[in-house]
Amino acid sequence: MTDWKKIYNEIEKADSIMLTTHENPDGDGIGSIVALYQHLKAKGKKIRILLTSKLPDEFQFLDPDNKFEIVEKTKHTDWLSNVDLAILLDIGNYTRTGKMWNVIQQNGTTVVNIDHHPYPNGHPFTINISDINASATGELIYDYLQNIDPDRLSKEVYEAIYIAIMTDTGSFSYNNTNVLCHEIAANAIKAGVDTAKIHQRVYGSSSRSRIKLLAAVADSLQFTYDGKLVWFKITQDMMKKANAAKDDVDGFTDFARSIKGVEVSLMVFENTDNSCRINFRSKGHYSINKIAQYFEGGGHSFAAGAKVNGRIADVVAKVIDKTIEIMMEQEEVVD
Ligand SMILES: [Mn+2]
């Protein structure tokens, strides 16, 4: 049982609160923010939601009043320097707060972290709730509200929590799907949430650019290690040709993992000429967060990622070598 009272006490003490999630935010981070926001608002707090990157189009409908802001140095530094409490949701790693972290740290701001990512090397937060058995951070927010402020579990809040869980469990299909997920989903339907409509809004609105890019990716998949590892790269040039945005690639690594015989999929995304983002998915036989951790990233056993500096050709070579090495190590253990 999580000691939510501890978190509630910090919220009680604070007058102003900043909410955020990781860069390139996903449904879990955004849904968790929307749900917790309602609780904080009801408590009369001064709240700002600051993101380091833009809200993806498919989640715009969760923000009808434009409460999500992209953090800007000139606009937000003063406010952020004086905020009483920062709450990080689904962050994975404090570095994924971008430049905001420096401001928070310099001012000794109280930081509450609520997450379901593991923190194997410790954490710099005032209070850290990291429950790796939770399917999503949204599940933890549900648990918080259930214990602290059950009246807040309205249709609107259930909708946000449902989106958090639906997106992080691959619509209740990944192996992190648990009993509580389904209980929350059932309660959401009882509260009036139209789950089919939500699914349609989130997954039925791919841009043409995304599909064009997906076609290029499908055409360039590379199989290695007896077909157990599939990898692909997305270059700046491919992005330009498809006229795609960064969040258009969400789900591509899951798509590659779905191939028969594949155990692990890997995406290498060229951020700039000298820096890449790598993303792993595993069907369940291999833990891939060990690979991500080697490259100073993080994540779950079967979904993880990291940032790697270097030219894309070098990053690809280095990461594939390491991936195969770590897959082989795990095979020895299995056999
Ligand atoms: Mn999550």
Domain at 259, CATH number: 3.10.310.30
301 alpha carbon – ligand 1 mean position (Å): 13
Do 223 and 292 fall within a single domain?
yes
Any alpha helices (H) in the chain, and if so which ranges? 4-13, 27-42, 73-82, 100-106, 137-148, 155-168, 179-190, 195-203, 208-218, 236-242, 252-257, 289-294, 312-334
Do 247 and 328 fall within a single domain?
yes
241 alpha carbon – ligand 1 mean position (Å): 31
The per-residue pLDDT for range 253-283, each reduced to its tens digit, is 999 999 999 999 999 999 999 999 999 999 9
29 alpha carbon – ligand 1 mean position (Å): 6
274 alpha carbon – ligand 1 mean position (Å): 28
Average pLDDT over all residues of the chain: 95
Do 198 and 227 fall within a single domain?
no
35 alpha carbon – ligand 1 mean position (Å): 14
Which structural domain, as residue segments, surrounds residue 299? 208-334
CA–CA gap between residue 81 and residue 107 (Å, rounded)? 6
| Residue 287 confidence class, pLDDT cut points 50, 70, 90 | very high
317 alpha carbon – ligand 1 mean position (Å): 29
Over 80: is that where the pLDDT of 332 sits? no
Region 286-310: what's the mean pLDDT? 94
270 alpha carbon – ligand 1 mean position (Å): 23
* Predicted local confidence at residue 333, as pLDDT: 60
The per-residue pLDDT for range 76-104, each reduced to its tens digit, is 999 999 999 999 999 998 988 989 999 99
| Residue 190 confidence class, pLDDT cut points 50, 70, 90 | very high
| Residue 335 confidence class, pLDDT cut points 50, 70, 90 | low
* Predicted local confidence at residue 175, as pLDDT: 87
335 alpha carbon – ligand 1 mean position (Å): 32
Over 90: is that where the pLDDT of 15 sits? yes
How far CA 219 is from CA of 265, 289, 315, in Å, comes to 15, 27, 21
Question: For the domain that residue 106 is a member of, what is the CATH number?
Answer: 3.90.1640.10
List all residues 6 or more positions away from 189 whose beta carbon is below 8 Å from its beta carbon. Answer: 195
Region 11-25: what's the mean pLDDT? 96
Do 122 and 213 fall within a single domain?
no
220 alpha carbon – ligand 1 mean position (Å): 29
- Overall pTM surpassing 0.85 (yes/no): yes
Region 131-142: what's the mean pLDDT? 97
38 alpha carbon – ligand 1 mean position (Å): 19
Over 90: is that where the pLDDT of 128 sits? yes
Please say which residue of 187, 203, 219 terminates a domain.
203
Region 11-31: what's the mean pLDDT? 96
178 alpha carbon – ligand 1 mean position (Å): 14
Region 191-207: what's the mean pLDDT? 95
